[in-house]
Amino acid sequence: MFEAVELGQSLDRDEYKQRIAALRTDLLHQQLKLRDEKVATVIIIAGVEGAGKGEVVDQLYNWLDARGLETHIFWDITDEEKQRPWLWRFWRRMPARGEIAIQFGGWYWDPIYQHAKDEIDDAALEDAGRRIRDLEFMLQQDGLQIIKLWFHLSKDKHKQRMKRRREVMSHVRDGVQLARPVKYKKFLCSAEQMLRYTDSSENPWILIEADDDHFRDASVAQAINNSFSRRLSEQRDHDRRSELHDQSIRIEDHAVTVLDAIDLDQSLSDKKYDEQLKRYQKRLHALAWQAYDARRSVVMVFEGWDAAGKGGAIRRLTSAMDARVYRVRSIAAPTEEEFSHHYLWRFWRHLPRDGYMTLYDRSWYGRVLVERVEGFADPHEWRRAYHEINDFEEALVNHGAIVLKFWLHIDQEIQLKRFKDRKRVAWKQYKITEEDWRNREKWDAYKKAVNTMVTHTSTHFAPWHVIAANDKQFARVEVIKTVCEQLEAALERK
């Protein structure tokens, strides 16, 4: 692979100036157009040590408007980052629409170096490549532009650069490469495997010959200019793309849904409710601290019909736990900042640290529920979201998190009764809005969306628990009982 860019190409100073003079105006003009079009861009700067990656980034700041341009380095992983899934550190630094993020190494840094240092095997490298390719495809489908530049040096040139660096910059730590040197051939072998796993028509790698500084910089300017130009000229056919790349399972709609199988007549007497609630709350208190001691984070998702009792169920859970180990997040319409990113961005950035819990009152499933039914997301967007959500939850579980998902189910009559109660009782009136009444008119559409959601996203690592909630007392006990059982089972497995 890398032999293709060991051609000995070079530019003299005059040729270089001539090329850059022609490119700089185009680069800046297209950057401003991308900003106007609200297109986010990630430029990944990766490659052989000593290839001049830092010098290239300095040039980019000369050529482009520095406003909306930000550089991120992922050499060292912080304790905060270690306590969350691997991709968390990258998600929280995703650029907003219209901005550009330059990443040194990006999500490629760790797996390539870990493989080159024999810290992970071929299977782990391939798995990392698969996850990266899925991530890039998902971001690209959402409109983010990814430009991946790999800087290559011939062996002799690499040797010369490293010798000169040690002589004149021995006091400067250029990344972690100097702290953990890797043999040239070993590094290239690992890099070639990763590049093969992650090179795609949507997000291709661009190889840059870096032996000559002038040729390197001119090649970078041309490559970025070409990428900007292609992105601006694209005419995205959403329907065609969703047909080609929809990775979710196709399931026909049926008259009978998963919700129809739920026995809504289940109930608890006051006496049994008090007894069981007290017992399970005591059990949950101990389990929450066991999860903390085991450094296992817990993510709970609560979805359900309006007035199904999500808030009441959450309160019975939190009242059993120490407030220092959990956080409740109520999800409303995205803010302007959140809307300028991929819909999962706001959830990635607020994931709990190892040992802590986050309870979501509504969640990322809004993409395939309210956004689908109300038309806030196009069909190709919510259809691909099933696969994206499954990948997201699998990443949490692979990190060690325990993911619990609840749908609280009631019938239309009970919902109407609770709506009227809320309207009548003064201290409950804040809970009922005109939007709730409008949503009620779309019951059948929401029921269809819920059935598809559960069918597509109830996985062995993060299954749905559909709770009969016509009787609030039964639902509350059933939720806390399920949480206790699932936590016990997960803590015993690991």
Distance of alpha carbon 324 from the chain centroid: 26
Q: Find the largest Cα–Cα distance for the chain.
A: 89
pLDDT at 100: 97
Per-residue pLDDT tens over the stretch 131-175: 999 999 999 999 999 999 999 998 888 888 888 877 666 545 444
Which residue did the predictor score with more confidence, 459 or 75? 459
> How many CA atoms are closer than 13 Å to the CA of 93, on its beta-carbon side?
20
Which amino acid does the sequence have at 43?
A: I
pLDDT at 248: 43
pLDDT at 434: 76
pLDDT at 8: 85
pLDDT at 242: 46
User: With DSSP H G I counted as helix, E B as strand and the rest as coil, what are the percentages for the chain, rounded to 5?
Assistant: 55, 10, 30
Residue 288 neighbours by CB distance under 10 Å? 23
Residue among 266, 328, 273 nearest 476 (CA)? 273
pLDDT at 168: 66
Are 48 and 187 in contact, with CB atoms under 8 Å apart?
Answer: yes
Are 268 and 168 in contact, with CB atoms under 8 Å apart?
Answer: no
Are 11 and 115 in contact, with CB atoms under 8 Å apart?
Answer: no
Percent pLDDT > 70 in the chain is 91
Output the average pLDDT for the chain.
90
pLDDT at 180: 53
Report the phi/psi class of residue 251: left, alpha or beta, with left for phi > 0 and alpha for psi in -120 to 50: beta
Following DSSP, what letter does each residue of 392-436 receive, concatenated?
HHHHHHHHT-EEEEEEEE--HHHHHHHHHHHHHSGGGGGG--HHH
Residue among 306, 310, 309, 327 nearest 318 (CA)? 327
* pLDDT of 247 above 50: no
The mean pLDDT value for 423-445 works out to 78
The mean pLDDT value for 235-241 works out to 46
* pLDDT of 243 above 60: no
Which residue did the predictor score with more confidence, 452 or 253? 452
pLDDT at 406: 98
pLDDT at 244: 47
In residues, how long is the chain?
Answer: 494
Which amino acid does the sequence have at 258?
A: V
* pLDDT of 67 above 50: yes
Per-residue pLDDT tens over the stretch 334-380: 999 999 999 999 999 999 999 999 999 999 999 999 999 999 999 99
pLDDT at 477: 98
Task: Give dist(CA 230, CA 252) in Å, integer.
Answer: 38
β-bridge mates for residue 209, sequence order: 152
Query: Burial level of 75, CB count in 10 A (0-12/13-18/19+)?
Result: middle
Per-residue pLDDT tens over the stretch 249-294: 444 455 578 899 999 999 999 999 999 999 999 999 999 999 999 9
Listed as own residue / partner, the contacts of 428-436 with beta carbons closer than 8 Å and 24 or more positions apart are: 431/307, 436/306, 436/307
Following DSSP, what letter does each residue of 281-331 receive, concatenated?
HHHHHHHHHHHHHTT--EEEEEEESTTSSHHHHHHHHHTTS-GGGEEEEE-
Task: Give dist(CA 393, CA 351) in Å, integer.
Answer: 11
* pLDDT of 430 above 80: no
* pLDDT of 237 above 50: no
| 355: its two tokens | 């040992």
Q: Model's pTM, two decimal places?
A: 0.87
> How many CA atoms are closer than 13 Å to the CA of 69, on its beta-carbon side?
16
pLDDT at 104: 94
Task: Give dist(CA 55, CA 43) in Å, integer.
Answer: 15
Per-residue pLDDT tens over the stretch 197-212: 999 989 999 999 999 9
- The label of the residue with tokens 């009441």 reads 312
Which residue did the predictor score with more confidence, 6 or 42? 42
Which residue did the predictor score with more confidence, 177 or 111? 111
